[in-house]
Amino acid sequence: MSLPDTKRLTFRSFTKEDADLLYQLDTDSNVMKYITLGKSRTKKEIREKVLPRIMRSYDHGSSYGIFAAFLKSTSGFIGWFQLEPDHSIPDAVEIGWRLKKEYWGKGFATEGAMNLVSIAKTLNKSVVAKAMIQNKGSIRVMEKSGLKFVKEFWGDYEPHSGKPDVLYKLKC
């Protein structure tokens, strides 16, 4: 299972041996700012919670999952991209991404997100994405990928920012 390559990125499914890649990503407080309010994940959390969750993401079919992303030019790991059925919106897929900070602002998130939107169109699914309202970078990626603001809502995750989240959507 994998995503199609883009101009600068290649993708593959995570394996159980990829805990160190996820640890690199999830120990950067900047990366985790809008996920855990900056709290780093431990190696134990990666092995016991994050990696099993990622491995379950492939259970929805060959087009779905959370995929490791690598630069074509260097083969370096830059983060991941997600395409999964949305649990609260029928006939919609949720897209998401998490990138190492050194790859922010270079168009990689938008490139990967637009790839996910293209796949969703072939599946004839609407596309949704969610973010904390203060995560302006991810919101901009959603907009560049063609998604439109739908509403603010209160996420049920912990730790919570105390501010609403936003939902963006694109009907395919």
Using CA atoms, how far apart are residues 80 and 124, in angstroms rounded to an integer?
Answer: 23
Q: What is the pLDDT of residues 92-139, one digit of tens each?
A: 999 999 999 999 999 999 999 999 999 999 999 999 999 999 999 999
Overall fold of domain 9-170: Aminopeptidase (3.40.630)
The model's confidence at residue 156, banded by pLDDT at 50, 70 and 90, is confident
What's the token pair of residue 21? 């890649």
Give me the amino acid identity at 135.
N
- Return the domain boundaries, the chain: 9-170
41: helix, strand or coil: coil
pLDDT at 157 over 80: no
